[in-house]
Amino acid sequence: MNRDFQLSGRSPVIAINGMAATSHPLATLAAVDILRDGGTAADAAVAAVAALCVVEPANTGIGGDCYTLISKPGKPVWGYNGSGRSGANASYQPLRDQGVREIGDSVHSVTVPGAIDAWEQTLKAHGRFGFDRVLRAAIQYAESGFPVAQRVALDWQRHVGKLAACRGAAKHYLFNGMAPKEGDVIRFPALAETLKTIALKGAKGFYEGAVGAEMAATVAARGSFLKDEDFANHRGNTVVPISTEYRGVDLIEIPPNGQGLTALVMLNILENFDLKSLDPMGPERFHLVLEAARIGYAVRDTHLSDADHMRTPVAALTDKAWGKKLASLIDMNKRSELPAALTPGSNTVYISVVDRDRNAVSLINSLYSGFGAGICTERSGVLLTNRGACFTLAPDHPNTFGPAKRPMHTIIPALAMKNGRCEMSFGVMGGHYQPMGHVQILLNMLEYGMDVQQAIDCPRLFWENDRVAVETSIPQRTMDGLRARGHNIVLRDLPWGGAQTVKIDWDRGVLIGGSEPRNDGCALGY
């Protein structure tokens, strides 16, 4: 689609040697500096995510989790699951005995943070530099200060009450009891020292020693099952990615406990419809995608868990024939009632980087909710994830809270491959919205010919409970058409998700980047 230069918007970024796209300009610059210094896409991605853990503290942190997908020409895609686990002694029964029916925002939502291990393993497997080099920008921002960006300031303000409830969080992340304003210069001296420890000692300096002991003591004091050894023993693992083919393109995702299979199920449903004939901004297109998503997410909520606890194989859930049966549940004229269980026979940062050798890194890092659990260590300044809120306390479910277990996880990096080569590294931040975001971006490009920036800019919608929350840019006629089909339409205060994309044009030898206008960031190449 040709861009109308009389309308607001921005062009894709085009470069030759390397490119990064992140949700904050300082993080994008940190990545490009690494690429220009001879680092790989993996080095640049870790540098960017570390910077984001400083400059976007509501969305991510070193106390969170991380997933990575890396494509190298001629090599199988490498995946790493950097999500943490519950304590070895965790059990749902004591909580149910107390009358608790969901983990919610309790201390039991804190799981061992997996990000630092994932960064280290990514560098060891695919990098040229060590922590001492790639953490340099993050340490500088934390120690010398950084200016607060516009969207960062908005997100910070929304969580003042949460931060004020924890002495450590209030100490490090509030200033005279308030959130900083756009343009304020902020420093995190304690976090800087913790990052220096990681730069010197590696992941061991985070999970063991004073930092690891403080994380364990901080949550133990609140009644957590987590102990020192749960932090010291943490290890992520390499994984074989999962995929499905849609219109000649393979969508690559991290396997469970990640929710990437949700996007694959959705695409397997949608390939049975002629989307190209539908208006990309019309009610028919959005109704169809909403219905496919409702089915895909129902599959997720029924089956998805830690891989060691999955009861139905991923291959069965992503089977094309089953996808066709699921497609038959959709009525193009109305919102359908779905079966209770479908069985076959938020807040995150995302980084996309491609280097001169066309190594592509798709990496996502998250605290889950804004500022995670709102629990922060007092000396080391580490905000802890609340990813365990994604566990269920239902006694007979694969995702039930239990010992040394990973919860169902929302963060999902993605790659689009064609004929064995990486066509695009991309991801969409936004908690549970992410599979919907992956599908919408792919449809925008493959069915409607949008470029990477147009595909990101396009209006979005998703549901919250029984309501479909739409962005204000959705046309009125589309909202009316969705209401006529039985959808309860409401306008959303905040936009849905945050995407970053780098596309590889192999024929012309260029990289084409797009970045989310709903955040502060940018794509930048050289």
Binding residues for L-glutamate: 431
Cβ–Cβ < 8 Å for 194, 380: yes
Query: Regarding the domain delimited by 239-347+412-525, which CATH topology (the fold level of the hierarchy) does it fall under?
Result: Glutamine Phosphoribosylpyrophosphate, subunit 1, domain 1 (3.60.20)
Work out the average pLDDT over 137-166: 97
> Tokens in use for 18?
């390397």
In this structure, is the dihedral angle defined by the CA atoms of residues 55, 67, 87 and 398, taken in order, positive or negative?
positive
Strand order in the sheet with 249-253: 13-15, 510-515, 498-505, 421-429, 414-418, 249-253, 242-246
Higher-confidence position of 429 and 362: 362
* pLDDT tens by residue, 286-297: 999 999 999 999
Work out the average pLDDT over 259-269: 96
State the pLDDT at residue 105: 87
pLDDT at 342 over 60: no
Catalytic positions: 348
State the pLDDT at residue 463: 86
Higher-confidence position of 347 and 396: 396
State the pLDDT at residue 341: 52
Work out the average pLDDT over 51-63: 97
pLDDT at 336 over 60: yes
At 347, is the pLDDT very low, low, confident or very high (cuts 50, 70, 90)? low
State the pLDDT at residue 430: 87
pLDDT at 343 over 60: no
Cβ–Cβ < 8 Å for 224, 108: yes
Q: How far is CA 334 from CA 287, 467, 483, in A?
A: 8, 15, 9
Lowest mean pLDDT among 6-10, 204-208, 281-285, 356-360: 6-10
The pTM score is: 0.94
Q: How far is CA 89 from CA 313, 403, 518, in A?
A: 27, 5, 41
* Residue given tokens 């020292």 in the structure block: 193
Work out the average pLDDT over 77-100: 93
> Helix (H, G, I), strand (E, B), or coil: what is residue 140?
helix
Work out the average pLDDT over 240-267: 96
DSSP for 96-132, written as a single string: HHTT----TTSGGG-----HHHHHHHHHHHH-SS-HH
State the pLDDT at residue 99: 86
* pLDDT tens by residue, 91-137: 989 998 888 888 988 999 999 999 999 999 999 999 999 999 999 99
Work out the average pLDDT over 159-171: 97
pLDDT, the chain, mean: 94
Distance CA 221, CA 107 (A): 10
At 346, is the pLDDT very low, low, confident or very high (cuts 50, 70, 90)? low
pLDDT at 345 over 50: no
b/e string for 449-482 if b means 16 or more Cβ within 10 A?
Answer: ebbbbbbbbbbbbbbeeeebbbbeebeeebbebb
State the pLDDT at residue 3: 81
Backbone angles phi, psi at 268, to 5 degrees: -65, -30
Question: How many CA atoms are closer than 13 Å to the CA of 294, on its beta-carbon side?
Answer: 24
* pLDDT tens by residue, 475-523: 999 999 999 999 999 999 899 989 999 999 999 999 999 999 999 999 9
Burial (CB < 10 A; 0-12, 13-18, 19+), residue 422, is buried
State the pLDDT at residue 293: 94
Cβ–Cβ < 8 Å for 258, 409: yes
Map out the domains of the chain as residue ranges: 22-59+82-234+369-390, 239-347+412-525
